Structure 1
Amino acid sequence: MIRIITRTRLTALQQETDQARERTREVQAAADAAYARHVRTADGLSAEAVAAHLDAVTARAHAEDLAKVLERTQAELVQTQGTVAEQAARIEELGAPAPADASMVLLLHYGEPHSIHPDKPAAYAYAATLGVPLNGWVSVGERPVAELRWVCTPFIYDAGRDHFRSVAAPAVEPLGGAA
């Protein structure tokens, strides 16, 4: 079948085709702009995700370092608490008042007071740390104490008078009530 198209109809079809092409260009431009926005948004989100991942890795490493430091600090704290408890017990033990008539030993070095000990074995052990042999101790006898290198002299703490007195010498009352 043959159809005859008039010039007017041909011009109308040409205009419709041009309008369709123009509309296609507009839609393509809008699609390109939307795609470009999508790509930029996806790139931005990807960059943010990578930065967040790096921040998380850094934070995790920092948290692990802090956990190690905390463990070491807790171990040191436990050790220090033990030391403090031992020292507090020792201080309490040393600070306890001596019972009435408590016997102690004065360690003399060439007649000069050196240290006080709870008993002779403790004085001998301390003197041993200073290089004195354990079997080198002799009794004072008639010799002056100043001539002997080391001497242990027993003393008694008199709580009533708050002073020490020698076990070897009798207690002497002060003259005229002098203290």
Structure 2
Amino acid sequence: MIRIVTGKRHAMLEADAHAASERARQADEAASEAVGRHERELADATDRAERAEATLNEVGALLAHAVKEVSGAEQRALLHQIEARRLREELDQAREPGRSLFLLLHYGTPRMIYRSLQDAYADTATHGIPAEHTWGPASPFWFDAEWVLATFTYDAAKSGFRGSLTPAAVSLGGAA
């Protein structure tokens, strides 16, 4: 089939083609602009997600460290509670009437407290006192003697401990 096109029709078709081409170019520009905008938004979102992930990792590490510290502190607190309970029980036992504690003094300075005289004798070697050391009478002044074992006995009537030493024999005017 042959179609005859007039000049006017040809001009109209050409104008329509040009208008369609212009609309296609505008649509292409709008699409390119939209793609660019979406790419920027995607890049921004990816950047925010990466920063959030890095922050999350940092917070996770800090939280793990804090949990470890809290766990250690809880363990230390538990050990302190156990030790405090043990010391309270020991103090209650020491407050039994007639119960004695023994204090090792070096030139009047306290070095160690013992629950029994046997413990005191057994441990004095760690403080430089020979095992064969004979404990004799003490001088009236604790700071004069190199090593002294003082006995403290709980006195329920006074709600406290009473200290005692074996005093050295002192002659007074010829009398012993």
TM-score w.r.t. length of structure 2 = 0.67
- After superposition, the CA RMSD in angstroms is 3.6
Alignment check: 8 A CA contact 1:107 1:123 kept: yes
Distance in 2 between residues matched to 1:2 and 1:139, nearest whole Å = 142
Are the counterparts in 2 of residues 101 and 157 from structure 1 also a CA contact under 8 Å? Answer: yes
**Residue 27 of structure 1, CA deviation:** 1.5
1:164 corresponds in structure 2 to 162
- Sequence identity, in percent? 23
Question: Which one has a bigger Cα radius of gyration?
Answer: 1
Question: Residue 80 of structure 1 aligns to which amino acid in structure 2?
Answer: R
| Structure-2 residue corresponding to 1:83 | 79
One-letter amino acid of the counterpart of residue 54, structure 1: E
Which residue of the partner structure matches residue 55 of structure 2? 59
**Separation of aligned partners in 2, 1:89 and 1:126:** 25
- Counterpart of 2:162, as a letter, is F
TM-score normalised to structure 1 length:
0.66
CA gap of 1:72–1:108, structure 2 versus 1, over 3 A, is closer
1:40-77 Cα shifts (integer Å, max 9, x gaps): 22212321232133123303321331243134213312
Partner residue of 2:64 out of 65, 68, 91:
68
Q: Is the 8 A contact 1:106 1:113 kept in 2?
A: no
d(CA) in 2 for partners of 1:166, 1:2: 140
Cα 1:101/1:34, change in 2 over 3 Å: same
After superposition, what is the alpha-carbon deviation per residue over 1:96-152, rounded to whole angstroms, capped at 9, x for unaligned?
361222233343546x4746533213323553332223x2331426x8577864343
Q: Which stretch shows the higher mean deviation, 120-129 or 27-36?
A: 120-129
Q: State the partner residue of 1:31.
A: 27
Residue equivalent to 1:45: 41
